[in-house]
Structure 1
Amino acid sequence: MSDSPRRTIGFAPPAIDDDCVAAVERVLRSGWITSGPELKKFEAELESYLKSPRVVCFSSWTTACELALRWFGVGPGDEVLIPAMTYAATANIVLHCGARPVLVDINPEERVVSLEKLKDAWTAKTKVVMPVDLGGWPVNYAGIMTWLKSPEVSEHFTPENAVQSAFGRPLFLSDAAHSFGAKWERKPIGTQADITGFSFHAVKNLTTAEGGALSFSLPQNIDLVKTTAWFRAMSLHGQSKSAIEKTESGTWQYDVEEAGFKCNMTDIQAAIGRSQLSNYPKYLERRREIANRYYRKLSSLDGCILPVLKDVSRESAYHLFSIRIQGFKSSERNQLMQLLKEDGIATNVHFIPLPLLSLHRKRGEDILQYPESAQCFEEQLSLPIHIKLLDEDVDWIAERLQLHVENIKAAQV
C-alpha cells in the first residue's frame, strides 16, 4: 500500500442542501404535511420533466409497482418475466400477487436482460414483462414493446379481465428504479413502456427519503383519468377522496369500492422531491462528469470491464458505476472491497443474483441456470458516484483501486 492519507468517502450520501431543508420547513409550518398541494405540484413537475401524460407518486417503488401488477390482474397461475440479476423487491411484488417470477439471465456486456433472452423465457402464461434498467442503463425499450405487440405474442395471450382484454397482450412494466434521467432516443425514460416505475429511495439520484412514482403511457383505449384515479384511491385504502379533496370539495362523504393499501406520498416527501428536481439537471451532469473521469482513469487497468454509459440510442442515468474485474472470484472481490474500506472508500455490490437468495433457492432456482448473472456477481463491485465527490476523490479512488487489484493479482501467481 502507498502512504496516501486515508479519506472518508461515502457510497451514496443524499444531496440535501439548504434550499431542500427550507422547503421541508415550509411544509412543516404550512399546517398540511400529508398528501396535499405540495404533492400535486411535484407530480405535475415530474410530468413536465418526463414528458409524461400522467404521474402518480407513492411511498415506494415497491408499493407502486405492486399496485400496477394488481391493476393488471396478475395472480396465481400467471408468470412475470424479470432479470435474475436484480434487487429482491422486483421478485417480491410478483410473489405478493401469488404469481410466479420467471428469472431471465442478463446480457453480460450491458448487464440487463436482452430481448432475445426475454423471448426465450416467454410463455402463454406470461402476463407482464418487467425488465430492470440496472445501474441506470436502459433496456431495449423499442424492441421489447414491438415484440409484445407482435402476433407472435398477442395471438397466444389469454385475457382474464377487462384491463387485459383492452391490452390484448402482456403489460410492459419497466423497473426504472435506477434510471430517472436516463434517455432513450434523446427522450427521458418514462414513456417508452406502458408503465414505468421510479424509486426515490435515499440512495437514488433523486430522493424523497423514501418514495416512488409511476409514469403512465397506456394504450389509447385505456381511460387514463379513470386508471390513475384508481391508483390514487388504492394508495389510500381504496377511499374515493383524499383528505385534501374532502377539504377542497367541502364535503366529507367518501366511498370504498375495493380494499386498498396505505402507500401515499406525503407533502414532506414531495417538498424534498421538488427541491431535488429543480437541481436535477446539474446533479445529472455532475454524475456524468464523474463517470467519464472514472473511464479515463480506469480504462488502462488490465481486466477491468467498465459499464456501458452511452450508445446511439441510449444514455445512462449514471446511478451506479459498477465495474467487473475479469477472473476475480467473490472472495477476491470481497478482499478488494475490504482494502478499499480500510482506505475509507465505501463500495457495494449490485446485486446478489436472486437464485443465490434463500427465498429463491427454496423455490427451486439454481444459479447454474444463470451463468452470466453468476459470473457478473463474482467479479462486480460498484464505486462511489455522487455529487459530493471531488475530482481529486475520483482520482484517488481510481489510484487505490488499481493498486489493490494489481496486488491481489500478483498474489495469485
Structure 2
Amino acid sequence: MKIAFSPPFINDLVKAEVNESLDSGWITTGPKVNQLENMIADLAKAPKVLCVNSWTSGAMLILNWLGVQKDDEVIIPAYTYCATALAVMHAGAKPVLVDINDDFNISVKNIANAITSKTKAIIPVDIAGWPCDYDEINNLVQQKKALFNATSDVQKKLGRILVMADAAHSIGAKYKGKESGNLTDVTVFSLHAVKNITTAEGGAVCLNLPEPFSNDEVYATLRCYSLNGQTKDAFTKSQAGSWRYDIIYPGLKINMPDVLAAIGIGQLKVYSSNTLIRRFEIFEKYNSYFSNEDWALLPQHQNDDKSSSCHLYALRIKNANENTRDKIIALIAEHDVASNVHFQPLPLLSVFKNMGYDMKNYPNAYAQYENEISLPIYPQLTDEQIAYISQVVIDSVRKVLDINND
C-alpha cells in the first residue's frame, strides 16, 4: 500500500471551476479571484481579503505597507518555516526569534521579553493549524503601547505594534468561537499545493484593522501595490475604452491569476461541510490508534478555547532524538508510507545560523523538533489506509526504540 504525504484534493468541482476559467477567455486576475476573496472572507469572517501569489508575498506586502525599515524588529517564533523570517528580511527588517511552548506555538512570555522600542510587528504562527494565544498577544501589544516608536504614517495611525497572524496552516481553525482570519490586525493564509485549501500557489491576506483604518481603503491600496502600483488591473484595462491607467507606487507583481483561484473556489465549496470534518476524523483516528502507546506524545486538535484546522498530524516520540527519529522515518518509508518533519527550527538552517542565531538559545524549539514526525492527513485517505499508516508507525517506533511488542 503506497501512501503519499499530501497530494492536492482535486474533485469534479475543482475541475469544473478551472474549465470554466479556461473557457471564459480570461485566466489572470479577474472575477474568479474576486469570488475567491469573497468566499475566504465569508469563511474567516474577515472584513476584507486580498488574494496574492504566495503567503510570503502577502506578508511582505503588509510589512512594506506598514513601513518597516532597516533596524526595525519583527518578533517571530524560532519554530516555523523559513518564509516567516524571509518575509521580514525581504521587507528590510530584522527577525527577532523567540522560543515556543510545548504546543509548538510561540510563547507569549518570550514575546514580552523580546519587545523593544524597535519592535514594529509580531508574527505568531499557528503551527499545524493550532491557533496561538491571541487574546494574550493582543493584550500585550496594548500594554506595550508606551514603548512603541512609530516611524511611518501607518504606524502613527495604528499607534502600537501590528499583530499579523501567520495562519498558513490554520484556515478553518477557531479560537474562542472566532474564526482564524479575524483574530488579529492582519492574517495571512497560505494556499500552497499542500495546504488544506490550495490554488497550487497562493496566499490570502485577511484585513481586520481597527479604526480609524478603513479595511476597504487598505484593500484598494494593497491591491494596487500587488499589481506594480497600477491603478487598474488587467481585467479592467481590457474592457472596451478602459485602457488608460497610472502607476502611483513602485509596487510588486504578486497578483493571483483566475485560473488558480478557480482551484480554491472548487475546494472551498465543500471545505466546511466535508474536507475539514474529514481531517478532524482522521486526526481523531490517529489519536485512537496511538493513545495506548507509552512512547506517543499526541498533538492537540481541540480544547475549550481552540479548534484546529488539522493541517498536520504532528506526532512526537517520547525518548527519541534526531537520530532515532530519522531511523523511524526511514523504516516507515520502507513500507511505502511518506512522512515528514515540521519544521527544522530556523537556527538549524545555514542562512540563520550564519546570521548568528544559535539553537541553544531556543531549547524548547529543539526539544519539539528532535522527536517530531508528521503523518499524512488529507480527505482522500481511507479508513483502511489510516489503520495501515498507524500500524506501520507503531511497528517502526517499537523496532527502532527496541520496545517489546507484548
Could you state the TM-score of these two structures normalised by the residue count of structure 1?
Answer: 0.96
Q: CA deviation at 1:185?
A: 1.6
Of 179, 187, 190, which residue of structure 2 is paired with 1:188? 179
Q: How does 1:126-141 map to 2 (within 5 A)?
A: 126-141=119-134
Q: Which residue number in structure 1 is paired with residue 57 of structure 2?
A: 63
Q: Which residue number in structure 2 is paired with residue 44 of structure 1?
A: 38
**What's the secondary structure of 1:94's corresponding residue?**
helix
Mark the CA change 1:48 to 1:248 in structure 2 (over 3 Å): closer, same or farther: farther
Of 253, 261, 271, which residue of structure 1 is paired with 2:252? 261
For 1:27 and 1:403, the matched residues in 2 are separated by: 47
Of 139, 157, 170, which residue of structure 1 is paired with 2:148? 157
For 1:252 and 1:345, the matched residues in 2 are separated by: 53
Q: Deviations over 1:100-151 (max 9, x none)?
A: 100011102x11012111111111111000010000000011111111112x
Of 363, 367, 378, which residue of structure 1 is paired with 2:370? 378
Q: Which residue number in structure 2 is paired with residue 103 of structure 1?
A: 97
Select between 374-383 and 239-248 the one with higher mean Cα deviation.
Answer: 239-248
Of 104, 113, 116, which residue of structure 1 is paired with 2:109? 116
**What's the secondary structure of 2:160's corresponding residue?**
coil
For 2:299 and 2:170, the matched residues in 1 are separated by: 14
Of 47, 51, 58, which residue of structure 2 is paired with 1:53? 47
For 1:348 and 1:86, the matched residues in 2 are separated by: 14
**What's the secondary structure of 1:319's corresponding residue?**
coil
User: 1:36 corresponds to which letter in structure 2?
Assistant: G
Q: Which residue number in structure 2 is paired with residue 3 of structure 1?
A: none
For 1:376 and 1:50, the matched residues in 2 are separated by: 29
Kindly indicate whether residue 9 of structure 2 is the aligned counterpart of residue 15 of structure 1: yes
Q: Which residue number in structure 1 is paired with residue 18 of structure 2?
A: 24
Residues 13 and 267 in structure 2, CA contact (< 8 A), matched pair in contact too: no
Q: How does 1:197-276 map to 2 (within 5 A)?
A: 197-248=188-239, 250-276=241-267
For 1:230 and 1:82, the matched residues in 2 are separated by: 26
Q: Deviations over 1:146-200 (max 9, x none)?
A: 11112xx100111111110111101001000000000012221001110000000
Q: How does 1:398-409 map to 2 (within 5 A)?
A: 398-409=390-401
Kindly indicate whether residue 162 of structure 2 is the aligned counterpart of residue 168 of structure 1: no
Q: How does 1:84-95 map to 2 (within 5 A)?
A: 84-95=78-89
Q: How does 1:289-328 map to 2 (within 5 A)?
A: 289-328=281-320
**What's the secondary structure of 2:314's corresponding residue?**
strand
For 2:92 and 2:43, the matched residues in 1 are separated by: 35
For 1:411 and 1:301, the matched residues in 2 are separated by: 10
Select between 300-309 and 176-185 the one with higher mean Cα deviation.
Answer: 300-309
Q: Which residue number in structure 1 is paired with residue 71 of structure 2?
A: 77
User: 2:369 corresponds to which letter in structure 1?
Assistant: F
Mark the CA change 1:411 to 1:185 in structure 2 (over 3 Å): closer, same or farther: closer
Q: CA deviation at 1:248?
A: 4.6
**What's the secondary structure of 1:29's corresponding residue?**
helix
User: 2:388 corresponds to which letter in structure 1?
Assistant: W
For 2:39 and 2:196, the matched residues in 1 are separated by: 16
Q: Deviations over 1:194-247 (max 9, x none)?
A: 000000000000011100100010011013222111111111111011112224
Q: Structure 2: which 5+ runs fail to align?
A: none
For 1:66 and 1:120, the matched residues in 2 are separated by: 25
Q: CA deviation at 1:309?
A: 0.8
Q: Deviations over 1:51-105 (max 9, x none)?
A: 1110010001010110000000111010000010100100001111221100011
Residues 324 and 401 in structure 2, CA contact (< 8 A), matched pair in contact too: no
**What's the secondary structure of 2:370's corresponding residue?**
helix
Of 274, 284, 307, which residue of structure 1 is paired with 2:276? 284
Q: CA deviation at 1:411?
A: 7.8
For 1:71 and 1:249, the matched residues in 2 are separated by: 32
For 2:64 and 2:204, the matched residues in 1 are separated by: 16
* Runs of 4+ displaced beyond 6 Å: none
For 2:398 and 2:242, the matched residues in 1 are separated by: 70
User: 2:107 corresponds to which letter in structure 1?
Assistant: S
User: 1:391 corresponds to which letter in structure 2?
Assistant: D
Aligned residues: 403
For 1:397 and 1:69, the matched residues in 2 are separated by: 41
Q: Structure 1: which 5+ runs fail to align?
A: 1-6
Of 346, 349, 354, which residue of structure 2 is paired with 1:357? 349
For 2:92 and 2:255, the matched residues in 1 are separated by: 23
User: 2:137 corresponds to which letter in structure 1?
Assistant: I
**What's the secondary structure of 2:168's corresponding residue?**
coil
Mark the CA change 1:411 to 1:321 in structure 2 (over 3 Å): closer, same or farther: closer
Could you state the TM-score of these two structures normalised by the residue count of structure 2?
Answer: 0.97
For 2:177 and 2:40, the matched residues in 1 are separated by: 17
User: 1:94 corresponds to which letter in structure 2?
Assistant: V
